Structure 1
Amino acid sequence: MALVLASGSKIRAELMENAGLVIEIDPAVVDERAVEAPLLEAGFPPEDLASVLAEAKANDVSGRRQADLVVGADQILAFEGERRTKPDDMEAARRQLLAFSGKTHELHSAVVISQKGEAVWRQVSTARLTMRDLTPEFIGHYLAAAGDDVLSSVGAYQLEGLGVQLFEKIEGDYFTILGLPMLPLLAELRTLKVIET
């Protein structure tokens, strides 16, 4: 039985491998906007959106890999009552960071384990991040230095890199911010006897 990550995220793979897990990477093929559209219309909270999307990804891969244990993950950013998605371009990233300046947003990170096409475990963790007051000039310098990598992040930052300079206060788990709640995941993998206790 293989342990499979249903994601093409480099940071999620690194987190798992750095923890000593031997994984295979098999990204899910899921139309996230189509999955979440009826949930948004029904007013589902962001943490539920993250959980449903993580489960859809895990189940997609698990359906193809019946013998394996599949980990799916998703992250939703909530800001002033709205869900935010990855910025389309650097101008969108600039506008988003200006909006976040001096304010708090939440990151809801969900992780799901599926086997034989069905979820067998799920967890959602939340972190609250407060940005310091940022000038337009600082944001311009930051985006120029960080480059297009910011477009791969829902918040237009990587906390493990230059993005840490944007923040005044962080409440929550570092792994949650990076998009994979590692501590509960590792605890469940121990329960399932996938890793040593």
Structure 2
Amino acid sequence: MTRSLILGSGSAVRAMLLSQAGVEFEVVTSEVDEDEIKDEFSKSEQLGDTEFATDKLALKLAEAKALAVAAKRPDALVIGADQILSCEGRRFDKPKSLDEARTNLKFFRGKPHILHGGIAIAQGDAIIWGHSDRATLTMRGFTDAFLEEYLARLGDEVLKSVGCYQIEGPGVQLFERIEGDYFTILGLPLLALLAELRRLAAVPA
């Protein structure tokens, strides 16, 4: 008998990936204050490998989301996930406007950036599994004209992603090279998650 499973995320893409994989689950959003967690993390962060620290932050956010929902539903296994983008040592959040998206895309242009993915499973008041993964994506040197056409075509859709793109759609035209797991890029390291869910008897083995 499989166990009750909750996705503690409002991400339509994460829900789609789990659903398409044949996993039965319900969605309960965590309502965690991500900015507060990020601020606390930044205050305690030690100098050193910024990329490694960003891996830890993504996992910390995933754990916080999972625990917040698991506290309300101790009967279930709760999945929390988060993704952070870093480029040249800077961390980026989802843009709040098209102007901010334009500025960010000009900064990413011609450079590699990293998507740091964190995923965790909680039950009750405990994290029972966690996993981090990275993908590196290099944007091509697109023209300003292409950028304006891209923003006009997608509009507010670009505000839904930290990188201002959906790799499974027109956003793929921004890139010249992609290194990493496709599911990690979409925000849910699915193969590692499914392996753990099988181990936990949450999905058929």
Structure 1 residue 148 corresponds to structure 2 residue 156: yes
Which residue in 1 is equivalent to 2:28? 26
Distance 2:67 2:23 in 1: 20
Which residue in 1 is equivalent to 2:78? 70
Structure 1 residue 12 corresponds to structure 2 residue 14: yes
Which residue in 2 is equivalent to 1:59? 67
Structure 1 residue 80 corresponds to structure 2 residue 82: no
- Give the conservation status (yes or no) of the 8 Å contact 1:98–1:134: no
Which residue in 1 is equivalent to 2:119? 111
What is the DSSP-based 3-state SS (H/G/I as helix, E as strand, rest coil) of the residue aligned with 1:64? coil
Q: Which string of whole-angstrom CA distances, capped at 9 and with x for unpartnered residues, describes residues 67-105 of structure 1?
A: 001000000101110110000100100111111110000
Q: List gaps (5 residues or longer) in structure 1.
A: none
Q: List gaps (5 residues or longer) in structure 2.
A: 47-52
Shift of 1:43: 2.6
Which residue in 2 is equivalent to 1:129? 137
**Which has the larger displacement, 177-186 or 139-148?**
139-148
**How many percent identity over aligned positions?**
49
TM-score for the superposition, normalised by structure 1: 0.98
TM-score for the superposition, normalised by structure 2: 0.94
Match of 2:193 among 178, 185, 189: 185
Q: Which string of whole-angstrom CA distances, capped at 9 and with x for unpartnered residues, describes residues 115-167 of structure 1?
A: 01211000011000000001111111011111211101000000011100000
**Runs (4+) of structure 1 moved beyond 2 Å?**
41-44
Shift of 1:36: 1.5
Which residue in 1 is equivalent to 2:43? 41
